[in-house]
Amino acid sequence: MQQKIIILDFGSQTTQLIGRRIREMDTFCEILPYNKYPEDDSDVIGVILSGSPYSVHDTEAFNVDLSRFVGRLPVLGICYGAQYISHTLGGKVEKANSREYGRANLQEFDGNCPLFKGFDVNSQVWMSHGDTITKIPEGFHRVASTEDVEFAAYSNYSQCSTSGVQPIFAVQFHPEVFHSVQGSLLLKNFVIDICGSRKEWSAASFVETTVEELKKQLGNDRVILGLSGGVDSSVCAVLLNKAIGKNLTCIFVDHGMLRKDEFRKVMNSYSTLGLNVIGVDASEKFFRDLAGVEEPEQKRKIIGRDFVEVFNAEAKKITDARWLAQGTIYPDRIESLNITGKVIKSHHNVGGLPKEMHLKLCEPLQWLFKDEVRRVGSQLGMPENLIKRHPFPGPGLAVRILGEITPEKVRVLQEADDIFIEGLHKWKAEDGLPLYDHVWQAGAVLLSTVRSVGVMGDERTYENPVALRAVTSMDAMTADWAHLPYEFLAKVSNEIINKVKGVNRICYDISSKPPATIEWE
């Protein structure tokens, strides 16, 4: 039985980072809504309570029945989780005199506490809370403080060491974020030393167990998979092909908004992998249905609807198909609907199946983060040009064109985008690797609702600007703008303006996520 850590999500923006840190320790973890603790937890070795946008005193605050796991399993409360434990078990949480946000340093921490094994004096941590714990429950003791926070960490581990009861640890800071310098060490101490993880989660073990599970799940049934040309669906296809071979049929729909020559290049790549792929050019239908539409979410929905219609028409030709496979990954599932029930944006491969398809759903990558998908692809022997491809949105360039979508606007953006991406491949960073390898995701955005004045030769122009976007990230849940060399940006800017008719100005997007998103629409 595979061990796992359960992370109960109370709505924090950084809950997914906790999961990432734990997966990096070769330990499987599952992020669940705060009220969905599993009935059968025989494979669970520890529980983490996340932060939250709420105060424990808010009427809409999320509550969980601690008795289901407290004492039976090691527990770590983070920020709201720490305050909730104190509030529920008899401690006291009050409004802080001022919001405690930003860097702080741990003082007077208990060096005997297993959670802080190996910690340095004055270790920097990141605080982000409006309430603070002013009294801890009976049987607990202070483990660490900062200049402004008396109970930066507390625990009952010393009470539990000889009783056989599993301990509770609680911290009011966020160990999962980069600014908590030894945060990964804290999580490692909890997951490996306290919970006893055997570190069995790896790309190799995932491939082995998933292939066997797919064989049992699918048997001799025929499976249809929608390919997008991206990493997720490609890895999903190769994984399924390893499990069921000729019983897999892939369909690659060209909606007309792919990158320059993308359809041809991707079809060539798939043929070298031995996949059975049907290519469908449906661009005319997509452009027709998008005519006059400017609202971003409506564009996404039209593209999603048309994709299903085209895909369904092609799938019906495979009369003995029983399953639809999708390359859905964990961040897709998490970001489409967060714990508060608010849609951030629609993902084209999240949300179930159209009833008329009469197929069962197969999502073998649904628990993986993007970098884990890449490791699985490498384990499967896939070529680097597919594994290292940057993420690309399902609606394609449609979400990188502000305003109405037309074939001419797509052509302009394809040319500009191609110059940018090829430039990232060719320009070497200081370590000798291409800039492309240092960037999580990159692309050009056509600001077709904006026109700017320019001068070319002796003539004035009135054309569209293009914004370049390049970000660094671990899993797209948060992202920072990539600090590309000025010389590179100058070269790319000149090349786009000189070669792409209709563009006379280049901007570089230096927004982080949050508050911005990676895509413009």
Active site residues: 79, 174, 176
E strand or H helix that includes residue 455: strand 452-456
Which stretches of 273-354 are DSSP H helices? 283-290, 296-315, 330-336
CA–CA separation, 425 and 449 (whole Å): 30
Q: Which residue has the tokens 């997007």?
A: 509
> What is the β-pairing status of strands 75-78 and 222-227?
unpaired
> What is the β-pairing status of strands 92-105 and 124-135?
antiparallel
- For the record, the structure tokens of 114 come out as 């297993």
CA–CA separation, 116 and 44 (whole Å): 23
E strand or H helix that includes residue 96: strand 92-105
Q: Are 115 and 186 in contact (CB under 8 A)?
A: yes
CA–CA separation, 183 and 78 (whole Å): 11
- State the first-to-last Cα distance of the chain, in angstroms, to the nearest integer: 43
Query: Would you tell me how many other CB atoms lie within 10 Å of the CB of residue 354?
Result: 14
E strand or H helix that includes residue 132: strand 124-135
Residue type, 177: V
Looking at the DSSP assignment, which residues form a beta bridge with residue 271? none
CA–CA separation, 387 and 232 (whole Å): 9
DSSP code at position 119: P
Q: Which residue has the tokens 């507390």?
A: 154
